[in-house]
A and B are shown apart, each in its own frame.
Chain A
Amino acid sequence: MALLEVKNLHTHFFTREGVVRAVDGVDFELERGRTLGIVGESGCGKSVTALSIMGLIPKPPAKIVEGQVLFEGRDLTELDEGELEDVRGRHIAMIFQDPMTSLNPTLKIGTQLTETLRRHLGMSKDAARKRAIELLEEVHIPNAAARLDDYPHRYSGGMRQRVMIAGAIACNPKLLIADEPSTALDVTVQARILDLLEELRKAHDMAMILITHDMGVVAEAADEVAVMYAGQLVERAGVQDLFDRPEHPYTEALLGALPHVDEEHVRESRLTTIPGRPPNLVDPPEACRFGPRCPYASLNDSCTQVEPQLRELRKGHWVRSAHPASERAGVPAEVGA
């Protein structure tokens, strides 16, 4: 049994402007100790997927309208708030994008670390404090014992993210969800945070969901990749397979949009973009959501009539498209070129 199985997840926001289908069909599995990268552009539903797993979506207006989140076989969408509180922080931990705002400015770092330990592991004050020092050392914060009594404003952004990570691994969770953990940080700090995550994931034998919009980060850290577009999972494969043989036109376009620094005249060449804009999620295209932007949509009019389903093209490579790359023979040139 996989550690985490997300089946046909649909999370909608019921707003005055209509129903926003933020997550509208996400399926994936994650084995113990593996890293899944979820990629996609802003607003594609990556974070809402993560918050849905955690049971942290804002209710109201959001609601999981369909689907299951099976964690060790138990459906988290069925749990009440109290049961979810026992899972969060204990078995599934999460860190967020902006470490500057994710720590409580009025509480000492020590308090923010020990409260998790005391809540889930029932540690005494002293034991929790001792463990908190070890945790800070584990995330490489120098002079940990003294820094425990500092407030967050004394920490830099990178240090705060380290504190967030220390808090997340405090109870040895089986799954760590990292939502854009390095995006808000200085470029020089980003790599170190990602390295730290990988180091700790190995040391604690955790599985990890790494949400990012950075293909480079995914290539570096993930075992498997899920690509999301407009609330749906459109492609899922092993990281090697995905980068070598992307199938979905959107994934191809994303990879095509990466700047190539090895090319000659790189400074003169323009960055490649994907024409068009992602659809409005209140009223998305009825059939294929990528259809309006897809260069292959004209090949076959099923794109505007039939919603493509996620199908396994080859072992471990899933795609939601009527025109995956390997089924196109002699069709137009490269996407986005």
Chain B
Amino acid sequence: MTKFVVRRLVWTIPVVLLVILLTFTMMKQIGGNPFRQTERAVPASIQRNLERKFGLDKPWYVQYAQYVRNVFTFDLGPSMVLRGRSVNAIVKEQFPRSIQLGGLAMLFALVVGVPLGAVAALKQNSTADYSAMVVSNVGFAVPSFLVATLLIYFVSLKWGLLPTSGWATWRHKILPPIALGLGPMAYFARLARGSMLETLQQDYVRTARAKGLRWRRVVVVHVLRNSLIPVVTAAGPFLGFLITGSFIIETIFAIPGIGRYYVVSVQARDLSVTMGLTVILALIIVVANLIVDILYGLLDPRTREARA
């Protein structure tokens, strides 16, 4: 297992190199310039100085090599737009909030979605099943900004139960994760239901019943564990997607997370911020997938062995 993890971690290096190259190329292709803002036009001489300062006057491969060197020394450089702020500082300050938001959303999605799907499968074609699937369909179909708006309107404004925005106390941290996690929750419910129904048909479940095991044990030990495998597989990309910040949810709830910075930095052509965040997000997704693969091995001994 250790060998497997080390090998996977070594593989992240080419992934990061490729991510840097692709982002770098794309950012160059959209053109524009962090210093050429219309509202505060900068004299050409100062602009040249700025470009020299950030190395933008050098050929692209020199810039690329320099950037790669920075990344591997964990220095993502200074922001080109926000004076006096380094990308490292931005990440350090904003990112924990997004991780927290995404983590809570993921928790919500799993803790509600999987049991919902499991109950639906165990009571197939019952009212409980149909209700669960209606909830799941609605949750999947309604966009998160609408959910967020409705939650704020009813829970915060009409009933005054929770604050409308911000990210200070635990009371702020209830609505945003629900709004963000509703879609994934619906997806997990559906996935868990389908997977459970399939597992319930397996011969080894019949064997477990033929052994006279209590139904509760059959479900928990023989059905649940095997049906979680596809859920875990899907959970990896979702986890990466959720904790790397949601521009929409962070904007609606006024959460100073990384998602907003990301979008703003692209618009402002703040190359170093965009690059830095992309690299970090890529790493997060790589790690999330690695965690999933480790979990996968814990759930299914056959994959564990194939890696040895």
Contacts of B225 in A (CB 8 A): 106
Q: A106-B300, A151-B301 are in contact. Are A120 and B207 (CB under 8 A)?
A: no
Contact A102 B302 (CB under 8 A): no
Q: A105-B204, A105-B300, A151-B301 are in contact. Are A56 and B215 (CB under 8 A)?
A: no
Contact A104 B209 (CB under 8 A): no
**A334 part of interface (Cβ distance < 8 Å):** no
How far does the alpha carbon of A308 sit from the alpha carbon of B138 in the complex, in Å?
58
Contact B300 A56 (CB under 8 A): no
Q: Taking CB as reference atom, which chain A residue is nearest B222?
A: A104
Contacts of B206 in A (CB 8 A): 56, 96, 102
**B59 part of interface (Cβ distance < 8 Å):** no
**B31 part of interface (Cβ distance < 8 Å):** no
Contacts of B111 in A (CB 8 A): none
Q: Taking CB as reference atom, which chain B residue is nearest A55?
A: B209
How far does the alpha carbon of A103 sit from the alpha carbon of B207 in the complex, in Å?
7
How many B residues touch the partner, as a band?
Answer: 20 to 34
Q: A106-B300, A151-B301, A153-B301 are in contact. Are A120 and B212 (CB under 8 A)?
A: yes
Within 8 A of B (CB), among A159-191: 164, 167
Contacts of A88 in B (CB 8 A): 209-212
Number of CB contacts from chain A to chain B under 8 A: 77
Contact A102 B213 (CB under 8 A): no
**A1 part of interface (Cβ distance < 8 Å):** no
Contact A115 B300 (CB under 8 A): no
Contact A90 B204 (CB under 8 A): no
Within 8 Å by CB of B212, from A86, A98, A102, lies: A86
**B71 part of interface (Cβ distance < 8 Å):** no
Q: A115-B217, A164-B207 are in contact. Are A105 and B302 (CB under 8 A)?
A: yes
Contacts of B208 in A (CB 8 A): 104
How far does the alpha carbon of A308 sit from the alpha carbon of B142 in the complex, in Å?
63
How far does the alpha carbon of A234 sit from the alpha carbon of B103 in the complex, in Å?
64
How far does the alpha carbon of A6 sit from the alpha carbon of B100 in the complex, in Å?
62
Contact B203 A101 (CB under 8 A): yes
Q: Chain A, 138-155, contact with B by CB distance < 8 Å: what is the 0/1 string?
A: 000000000000010100
- Chain B nearest CB from A81 CB (Å) reads 7
Q: Taking CB as reference atom, which chain B residue is nearest A91?
A: B212
Contact A102 B207 (CB under 8 A): yes
Contact A56 B222 (CB under 8 A): no
**B214 part of interface (Cβ distance < 8 Å):** yes
Contact B301 A54 (CB under 8 A): no
**B299 part of interface (Cβ distance < 8 Å):** yes
**B221 part of interface (Cβ distance < 8 Å):** yes
**A85 part of interface (Cβ distance < 8 Å):** yes
Contacts of A104 in B (CB 8 A): 204, 207-208, 222, 226
Q: Taking CB as reference atom, which chain A residue is nearest B226?
A: A106
**B202 part of interface (Cβ distance < 8 Å):** yes
**A2 part of interface (Cβ distance < 8 Å):** no
Q: A102-B203, A102-B204, A153-B302 are in contact. Are A119 and B213 (CB under 8 A)?
A: yes
Q: Chain A, 49-91, contact with B by CB distance < 8 Å: what is the 0/1 string?
A: 0000010100000000000000000000000010011111110
Q: Taking CB as reference atom, which chain B residue is nearest A170?
A: B211
Q: Chain B, 208-237, contact with A by CB distance < 8 Å: what is the 0/1 string?
A: 111111110100011001100000000000
Contact A101 B204 (CB under 8 A): yes
Q: Chain A, 246-284, contact with B by CB distance < 8 Å: what is the 0/1 string?
A: 000000000000000000000000000000000000000
Q: Taking CB as reference atom, which chain B residue is nearest A150?
A: B301
Within 8 Å by CB of B301, from A56, A106, A120, lies: A106
17 contacts between A and B (CB under 8 A): A81-B215, A85-B213, A86-B212, A94-B210, A96-B210, A102-B203, A105-B300, A105-B301, A106-B301, A107-B221, A115-B211, A115-B217, A115-B221, A116-B212, A119-B211, A119-B212, A167-B211
Known: A116-B212, A164-B207; 11 extra A-B contacts, CB below 8 A, are A56-B209, A84-B212, A85-B212, A89-B211, A89-B212, A106-B300, A115-B211, A115-B213, A116-B213, A167-B207, A167-B211
Please give me the 8 A-B residue pairs with the lowest Cβ-Cβ distance, nearest first.
A89-B212, A88-B212, A89-B211, A101-B203, A151-B301, A104-B204, A94-B210, A116-B211
